[in-house]
Structure 1
Amino acid sequence: MDKVALRRINLRTAIDAELRRKGFKNDVTFCEHYDLNPSHISQLINGHGSFGERAARNLENKVGWEIGLLDLESENESLPITKGDGSIFISPIEFKSADTKGRTSNVQIPVYKDVKASCGSGIENFLEDVSEYLEIDPYILKIMGIQTNPKNLRIIYSAEYSMYPTVAPDSPLFVDVSDKDPNALKNGSVYVFTHNHELRMKRVFVSYAGSKTVKLTSDNPDKNRYPDEFITNDQLNEINFVGRLELALVKP
């Protein structure tokens, strides 16, 4: 790839990493933070400005990126981004087939593309057949807010609007399958579970005032369509919990 074209791609990737890591709202706030000209940065990204060796090194130095970062190449044209203090590391994200074993430091999360929460029947053994794996750097999971061990994660999909706006239909769901003990639920968290041969997803609230009661609620404010449900502790133990929702990638 042409060196200048590579720098433009890497600059876009590097800025995106900074937006996620430091919570900048957009490119303009990123530029304001580092005293950069937003118009000039936009021109560099979109191919309307000169992006030579000197300009690349000056930009890396001003932002605090590792010198030479904007010239790095990878097989997938995806930029591994590092700083001298190791505070950023973004590696390529790649889907692998079900029989592929990872050969990098990345982790592989099983993906079940045909499994959707709040969907029909016959899903008792739905976590047996993996569709594919999401190969991802564990650090990306951390900056996405996932705290559990990546080995505990499974990816399924949402089916409808009961948990909207927290979860949109057809959004990938990162589920922690290690957190499924009905006697140790995290109050107020969203859980995926099977009940009466249906895979469901609800926010769970446990009350210990008097006798133990449990409220299963949808995040959708339309309570006529998605009413709250109340069950007893005995009924809670009849539910087969799959795991706790760690993250939902909400589609716009």
Structure 2
Amino acid sequence: MDAKTNIKYLMDKSGMNPTSLATALEKMFPDEVRVPQATIFRIVEGITKDPRTSSLAPIAKFFNVTLSDLRSKDLRGHESSQPVAANDEQISIAAINYYAAKGSCGGGAHNEDAEPKGQLIKELGFFKKYGVKPENLAAIYADGSSMADFIVDGDMVIIDQTKTEPQSGKIFAIQHPDGLRIKQLRREIDGTWVLESRNPDKRTYPDERITPENVGLLKIIGRFVYRQGG
């Protein structure tokens, strides 16, 4: 195992790329040697064969591993290899757990064996903008095209797991008997809830009506906060 492979693994586990890692390093360690995006890119692409200690040390510190381990140990499955905790004065980022689960924007996706896959790094300004707390959030992948005017197949969808009361006009991740779905809810006068598909092709992606007596079959996992390309 080498630094190139370990850094690739740690970035993937944390939902990062060379650009976001470089930004996080600069904010967390402003007094240390700057590690630009181009340097990280050259390391993970194998262009730089023997990275300098000054480049690797901040990366090792960020992921909470030793420099020696980053250079030579197989860090896959290494429990300590998570971005280090930091207070607001040190760094303005926080992490969201993301999962191997897929929320169907279609007919339903089964996720019985879904497990945490890593962490998605966001600046604290993101949480302030949307009025959410990182510990309440989770990210899953969208699967399908029923929400395609807004959420497309492969997008990563962030949900607030504390928002589980249905609201008309809002998008939710819903545990449906047929699997996990991402749908917009609409309540009709008679109490029926409609799981709306935003794709205009209603023949392929029809809305689904849940009558009042069957509402108990649905479990809201969380309300939509944000989407980003997968």
Q: TM-score, normalised by structure 1?
A: 0.54
CA distance in 2, matches of 1:214, 1:248: 24
| Residue in structure 2 matched with residue 241 of structure 1 by the alignment | 220
Return closer, same or farther for 1:250/1:188 CA change in 2, 3 Å cut-off: farther
Give the SS at the match of 1:140.
Answer: helix
How far off its partner does 1:120 sit? Answer: 3.5
Is 1:77 the equivalent of 2:39? no
**Paired residues of 1:216 and 1:229 also in contact (CA < 8 A):** yes
Give the SS at the match of 2:126.
Answer: helix
CA distance in 2, matches of 1:219, 1:170: 16
**Paired residues of 1:98 and 1:131 also in contact (CA < 8 A):** no
Map 1:141-156 → 2, pairs under 5 A:
141-143=127-129, 146-156=130-140
Give the SS at the match of 1:178.
Answer: coil
Map 1:143-182 → 2, pairs under 5 A:
143=129, 146-180=130-164
Return closer, same or farther for 1:74/1:201 CA change in 2, 3 Å cut-off: farther
How far off its partner does 1:103 sit? Answer: 2.1
Paired residues, what number? 158
Letter in 2 for 1:158: A
Is 1:195 the equivalent of 2:195? no
Map 1:223-238 → 2, pairs under 5 A:
223-238=202-217
Letter in 1 for 2:184: R
Fraction of identical pairs, as percent: 24
| Residue in structure 2 matched with residue 66 of structure 1 by the alignment | none
Return closer, same or farther for 1:74/1:162 CA change in 2, 3 Å cut-off: farther
CA distance in 2, matches of 1:196, 1:234: 15
CA distance in 1, matches of 2:161, 2:109: 21
Give the SS at the match of 1:169.
Answer: coil
| Residue in structure 1 matched with residue 122 of structure 2 by the alignment | 136
CA distance in 1, matches of 2:198, 2:63: 30
Map 1:73-152 → 2, pairs under 5 A:
75-77=34-36, 99=79, 100=82, 102-105=84-87, 106-112=93-99, 114-118=100-104, 120-121=109-110, 123-124=111-112, 126=114, 129-143=115-129, 146-152=130-136
CA distance in 2, matches of 1:149, 1:136: 11
Letter in 2 for 1:147: G
How far off its partner does 1:72 sit? Answer: 8.9
Q: TM-score, normalised by structure 2?
A: 0.59
How far off its partner does 1:201 sit? Answer: 1.1
Instruction: Please report the RMSD computed on the Cα atoms of aligned residues, expressed in angstroms.
Output: 3.1
Letter in 2 for 1:191: F
| Residue in structure 1 matched with residue 67 of structure 2 by the alignment | none
**Paired residues of 1:176 and 1:246 also in contact (CA < 8 A):** yes
Which ranges of structure 2 fall in alignment gaps of 5 or more residues?
1-18, 20-29, 38-61, 65-76, 88-92
Give the SS at the match of 2:217.
Answer: coil
Q: Which has the larger radius of gyration?
A: 1
How far off its partner does 1:242 sit? Answer: 1.0
Letter in 2 for 1:190: I
Return closer, same or farther for 1:226/1:139 CA change in 2, 3 Å cut-off: same
Higher RCO, 1 or 2 (CA under 8 Å, sep at least 6)? 2
CA distance in 2, matches of 1:125, 1:231: 26
Give the SS at the match of 2:168.
Answer: coil
